[in-house]
Amino acid sequence: MEEARIKWLLRRGMKELDVMFGRYHAHRYAVAPAAERAAFIKLLDGPTEPEIYAWAMGFEPTPAEFAEVIHEFRNYR
């Protein structure tokens, strides 16, 4: 996915997610393993904001495919 498209998709409907996505992208994305980067890209176009927020806050169990990305989100929230 192009960098410009990624940056556009970083803008979410919830301010809290804007911050988490933006910080993750700025500090972790470039050095993350390929599988984690792929999961992040899938997260940008897949689940809804309430689902992602519930996972990031620990209100709901995180699906295995997004577990590492959500773990890193918690480091950058």
Domain ranges of the chain: 3-75
Reference 54, options 30, 20, 5; nearest CA is 20
Structure tokens at 11: 């803008």
Mean pLDDT of 2-30: 88
Model pTM score: 0.86
Mean pLDDT of 5-17: 85
For the 3-75 domain, the top CATH level (class) is mainly alpha
* Percentage of the chain exceeding pLDDT 70: 97
